Amino acid sequence: MELFVFVCAAAMVLVGAVGVIVRSHPVHAALSLVLTLFGVAVLFVAQEAHFLAAVQVIVYAGAIVVLFLFVIMLLGVDNAEDLQIEPIAVQRPLATIVGAGTLALLVTAVTQGSDAIRSGTGAGIDDATVTGDPDSNIRQIARDLFSDHVFAFELVSVLLVVAVVGTVLLSRRPDKLGPQSGGAR
């Protein structure tokens, strides 16, 4: 039964991820992202991490995807844009450099993580997990999130606020604001 649940959830994740990449309509891509996030939540439930599954559904599939859809709707996906014209000349080379850096960080993290697993260090298991306290997972996440990673947590909240403000500013195009929005006075 576990294998069946894993295969179904993995198929949901893979189909949704491919849908995010290949869908040309942004709303359909966002809905494919929802499928991926629900598949990850099913995998969390299969690992008995119910809190993480709930956070996955509520925060990511709920709030973040709604934010994405809000941005998509405000920017207006009806207009076709010419992809040959780049507003920022260094955008593609910079994206290539950032992508290569992110890939290098991911490879480094996987390598160090596999070394830590082989050596038995850094497994993240404390005495409460071994004794079977059902709330130990939640306590560990809360302790880690609000002590060691509180700066990153707050930075993400500021980033989301900036994204919303940026969306509102980008949606206010001069042709939509009327005659008082600029131009000759």
> At a CB cut-off of 8 Å and minimum separation 6, what does 2 contact?
46
In a domain, 104, yes or no: no
In a domain, 151, yes or no: yes
In 10 A of CB 28, how many CB atoms? 13
Distance CA 80, CA 78 (A): 6
Domain that holds residue 20: 1-77
Q: What is the mean pLDDT of each run of 10 residues along the chain (185 residues)?
A: 91 94 87 92 91 88 83 69 70 87 84 70 51 73 80 80 74 56 48
Distance CA 13, CA 39 (A): 5
In a domain, 114, yes or no: no
pLDDT of residue 185: 43
pLDDT of residue 51: 87
In a domain, 134, yes or no: yes
In a domain, 116, yes or no: no
- In the numeric block, which tokens belong to residue 158? 């500021």
CB 174 within 8 A of CB 182: yes
Domain count, the chain: 2
**Domain finish residue from 58, 77, 96:** 77
Same-domain check for residues 71 and 135: no
In a domain, 36, yes or no: yes
The model's pTM: 0.50
**Domain finish residue from 77, 95, 114:** 77
Sign of the Cα pseudo-torsion (113, 116, 121, 125, in order): positive
Same-domain check for residues 72 and 133: no
